Structure 1
Amino acid sequence: MRSLLSRAYAATAAAVSGACRARNNCRRTSNHTLAARFSQGLPMLIGRSAATRVHTRQLLSNMPTPGRAVGVGAMIAGMGCAAAGGIAIGMALPTERVLDMSRDAGQGSGSSQERAKTSGSGPARSPTIYEDEHDVARELPRPAMVQDVRIDDIEALYEFKSCLASGGSGAVWRAREKASGREVAIKVIDKKLLSPALFNMEVYSMQRCAGHPNILQLLAAYDVAPYTHNNDGEWHLVMELAQGGELFNKLVQHGAYSEQMAAKIVNQIARGVYHLHSCGVCHRDIKPENVVLMTDEEEDVQVKLIDFGAAVVLEEDEQVISGGRVGTWTYWAPEQADETAPYDCAVDMWSIGVLLYVMLSGRHPFEKPGADGRATLERILAAEYAMDGHEWKSISGRAKQLVAQLLEPDPDKRLTAAELLSHSWVR
């Protein structure tokens, strides 16, 4: 069975890699509802042009040239199928055009020192600034849990059932662990699309924050040697399976959440993020697609954060400059969109603010119908959004206040995860 699936995966991976090289602009979705809403111009603007994260600068070298438009029709035409039942990984989204815009729109947004966080009321402490996430990753040792195996070893351990989702760096499979019978999700990454250092940082990040009820658990990690259907070899991450699907899919199906339900979900996200930040991990890609529901139970909902492919390990007083090259650009904080500015874990709090806005209104705060990417980016950099539409009339003042405190353009004034958890609306 796995041999057939291996061939199918190899064909899928080849097609995906070819698509990346051909510079297709695509976005996955779990059903045709989203495409229908977009084609009908309905207001579910929860990241239309923000497909999924971009892993590394290696991927960026295969992206479209800055002058090429990224159209909704092209993205919808290139959509892949996603899981009805579980985790999904991102596909590479062209960002060079957006980055080119950020060079213009981000000018004058302040020096690195002005935007760096300081601690205490005394003199500012100069943070350690990494010029690139690769610099952070290269300092990390290979995690001990990563096992060197052959594809035959993987087939002996797991029965691959079906492909849940595929993207620019690989695919996620639903599988069964043969020894226990437990269903798991296995993220399969083509080695030529992700460096060993960044893979190690993804594993290290998940290990470092393991055991929290609102963070998806990593069960095993494998370095798979090259084999017949993949001459480069693969990285395999075995994780628990989320049976309830993505928060993104729920928003598409049901629209905006009630305040009560949104508060429950945000509380759990905040707990997970607080744990991440306490462990020195910045997620950098918090969005509805990366929040999953563990069951279909709506009354007793449990959510978890997934996809640590964009995560970076930052200790206290450390920052990184990535020029917005990772994550999903419509969820970037202003300092992340400014490719010259260093940033830290405060970018995750901005992303939660965008997510909360979406959950309460069913709309994206910075995307407007008919607007292009440049206009959206300029609104992000200026923190220009409104909460005066008809969908906000029934939303409480406390909820609006919380959104505003999260979508604070100054990262030093933005709520921290601890402050979010202490907010009366979330409690």
Structure 2
Amino acid sequence: MADAAMNVEPRRGSTVSADTRRCPTCGAHYPPDFLVCPKDATSLEAPTGADADPLIGEVLAGSYKIIELLGSGGMGRVYVAQHLRIPRRFAVKIMHDQLAAHAEAVARFEREAQAVARITNDHVIDIVDVVRVQGRAALITELLEGEELGLYLDRAGKLPLPQAIAICRQVCRGLAAAHAVKVVHRDLKPSNLFVMTRDDGSLHVKILDFGVAKLVDGTELTGSGMLLGTPAFMAPEQALGARDVDHRADIYALGAVLYQSLTGQLPFPDDDPARTLARLLTEDPRRPRDIDSRIPAGVEALIQKAMAREPEARPKSALEFDRLLAAFDEPGRSERVPSLPHVSRATLQAMDTMAAPISSDLADDATKKARRARPAALLLAVITSLLAGVAALTCAVVSLRTLLHVTAFNELQTILLALLAALAASFALLGSLRVLVTRWRSAPAIERLGEGLRNAVLWYLVPLGLLALAARVYAALAVIPYTLPAAREEYLRIFDLVLVMIPTLLGGVMMVLGLRRARRT
């Protein structure tokens, strides 16, 4: 599993000045002229600076002077740099020494710059320059003030619905811009989403860390079968190591982000990455409404649609996902909330309780549709099984009369025909119930099942009605001359057989296809 590149943005309270003294007891930092800690009178350590970090004070490309360390991650360290000619600060991400010697790591590091440079959108981190320092690659990016969504969720647990919808809609816009220039993120997760607060109090989200992004029209830097990304937010096709992973993998990941934001839990909570990968390939996540019943059924269905196993069952694009989310957005409320880093868990619960019901007709329709999906599929399963029994019985009776010229059935034949009808009905019912039970958590799978069963009923009844009408017309017009009564009678018998066989075959095929599609969704 590849280690995702470290985020390049600062976290409040995490900066370390180049010229400070540290208290070894309480860990506080003080100006260099302090000798003891004012809190506990402990002697302070020597000032940190160039001796502690040789990059502090370094000037990059003649313009960016490194002045503070922000943090360290898997790929490198992040600093604050002051521009020497304009009053502006930037973030600088510099590779670790041990990684700078690996060509693939360097290529991935530089690919992040190439990927982000293609994207022009206010919801994607802006890379200003790519330079080298002491033989290592360095990315110069805008300096952001705020907090990663992942850190916030770790502290607060989850988000109220309006804020979660607002954040995901902004991410959709950033993803749409990336996908428009053939860039697939492939590692979207809360820790790669940076939440800031505008001057008017509204939220603003930036997508970070394109270190494992895929340039759709470029060359892959990883071998076949190598997994890149985070298992908890990885699409099934990405977990299988497919080389044709496209923008729909990002839509799956965003669905997982929305899942965690609203429930406070990962879709597949497991400490073992291998078990997580196995579960996302074979199981459906726990229903969000089972965790928090206040989540609207329509939002739950939308999350499950985004996290469908088959890419074809997900929203076709980030813009479509944004449009679907818009039905549950509350204009003027969803983005205007207190700054996330300062909202306590109790405040969030109060905000969630006071949230006004969503009045959008689209939201109401989506919620009603999601609530009806399971009862409708169950009813269709019963109807389809009854039709299957009737169709099997009719086919058997007509076949015996047409091919064997049986005009009356004895008791044994009647019992056998009844058993045949019961077996056909049971087979259809058990097939439907199997999908209903195994995919009950997934609204998209249940909708696919309902659609397949509905098509099976229509493809049985409609051709049956049309053929029956044709048979009536045939008999009324007496297409076969009365001078050939025997031939006419034979044609009518064959027509009766075709009348029931074709609709039964069509209905059976549509039912099998519907069951298979529902299992894969």
Does the pair score TM above 0.5? yes
CA distance in 2, matches of 1:374, 1:326: 14
CA distance in 1, matches of 2:211, 2:13: 17
In the alignment, structure 1 residue 402 sits paired with structure 2 residue 302: yes
In the alignment, structure 1 residue 421 sits paired with structure 2 residue 322: yes
CA distance in 1, matches of 2:237, 2:177: 23
Q: Which segments of 5 or more consecutive residues in structure 1 lack a partner in the other structure?
A: 1-49, 56-81, 89-150, 228-232
3-state SS of 1:294 partner:
strand
CA distance in 2, matches of 1:266, 1:54: 21
3-state SS of 1:302 partner:
strand
- TM-score (norm. length: structure 1): 0.59
Work out whether residues 3 and 74 of structure 2, in 8 Å CA contact, stay in contact via their aligned partners in 1: no
Work out whether residues 263 and 288 of structure 2, in 8 Å CA contact, stay in contact via their aligned partners in 1: no
What is the CA-CA distance between 1:181 and the residue it aligns to? 2.2
In the alignment, structure 1 residue 289 sits paired with structure 2 residue 191: yes
Work out whether residues 81 and 91 of structure 2, in 8 Å CA contact, stay in contact via their aligned partners in 1: yes
What is the CA-CA distance between 1:326 and the residue it aligns to? 1.6
CA distance in 1, matches of 2:199, 2:309: 36
Q: Which residue of 1 aligns with 2:160?
A: 258
CA distance in 1, matches of 2:60, 2:232: 37
In the alignment, structure 1 residue 84 sits paired with structure 2 residue 11: yes
Work out whether residues 290 and 307 of structure 1, in 8 Å CA contact, stay in contact via their aligned partners in 2: yes
Q: Which residue of 2 aligns with 1:215?
A: 124
| Cα separation, partners in 2 of 1:349 and 1:388, compared to 1, 3 Å | closer
CA distance in 2, matches of 1:301, 1:244: 10
CA distance in 1, matches of 2:103, 2:254: 27
CA distance in 2, matches of 1:381, 1:372: 15
Q: Which residue of 1 aligns with 2:77?
A: 171
Q: Which residue of 2 aligns with 1:327?
A: 229
CA distance in 1, matches of 2:191, 2:103: 21
Letter in 2 for 1:420: F
What is the CA-CA distance between 1:193 and the residue it aligns to? 4.2
Which deviations, in whole Å up to 9, do the C-alpha atoms of 1:366-410 show, x marking residues without a partner? 114xx6433322211124211256542111112101101111000
Structural mapping, 1:179-218, within 5 Å: 179-190=85-96, 191-193=100-102, 195=104, 196-210=106-120, 212-218=121-127
| Cα separation, partners in 2 of 1:304 and 1:152, compared to 1, 3 Å | closer
| Identity %, equivalent residues | 28
Which deviations, in whole Å up to 9, do the C-alpha atoms of 1:205-233 show, x marking residues without a partner? 111103x1101111111133xx4xxxxx2
**Given the alignment, which residue of 64, 68, 71 partners 1:162?**
68
Work out whether residues 269 and 303 of structure 1, in 8 Å CA contact, stay in contact via their aligned partners in 2: yes
CA distance in 1, matches of 2:149, 2:141: 18
CA distance in 2, matches of 1:353, 1:175: 35
3-state SS of 1:360 partner:
helix
Which deviations, in whole Å up to 9, do the C-alpha atoms of 1:96-117 show, x marking residues without a partner? xxxxxxxxxxxxxxxxxxxxxx
Letter in 2 for 1:382: T
More helix by share: 2
Work out whether residues 383 and 407 of structure 1, in 8 Å CA contact, stay in contact via their aligned partners in 2: no
Q: Which segments of 5 or more consecutive residues in structure 2 lack a partner in the other structure?
A: 16-56, 331-521
CA distance in 2, matches of 1:86, 1:396: 37
Which deviations, in whole Å up to 9, do the C-alpha atoms of 1:334-372 show, x marking residues without a partner? 11111256321211111101100010011001114xx64
| Cα separation, partners in 2 of 1:297 and 1:363, compared to 1, 3 Å | farther
Which deviations, in whole Å up to 9, do the C-alpha atoms of 1:101-157 show, x marking residues without a partner? xxxxxxxxxxxxxxxxxxxxxxxxxxxxxxxxxxxxxxxxxxxxxxxxxx9651742
CA distance in 1, matches of 2:265, 2:224: 27
In the alignment, structure 1 residue 384 sits paired with structure 2 residue 311: no
CA distance in 1, matches of 2:161, 2:261: 9
Work out whether residues 282 and 312 of structure 1, in 8 Å CA contact, stay in contact via their aligned partners in 2: yes
Letter in 2 for 1:205: A
CA distance in 2, matches of 1:86, 1:203: 27
Whose Rg is larger? 2
Q: CA RMSD in A?
A: 3.2
Letter in 1 for 2:124: I
Work out whether residues 246 and 291 of structure 1, in 8 Å CA contact, stay in contact via their aligned partners in 2: yes
CA distance in 2, matches of 1:238, 1:321: 29
Work out whether residues 85 and 242 of structure 1, in 8 Å CA contact, stay in contact via their aligned partners in 2: no
Structural mapping, 1:365-380, within 5 Å: 365-368=267-270, 372-380=272-280
Structure ranking higher on relative contact order (CA contacts 8 Å, 6+ apart): 1
- TM-score (norm. length: structure 2): 0.49
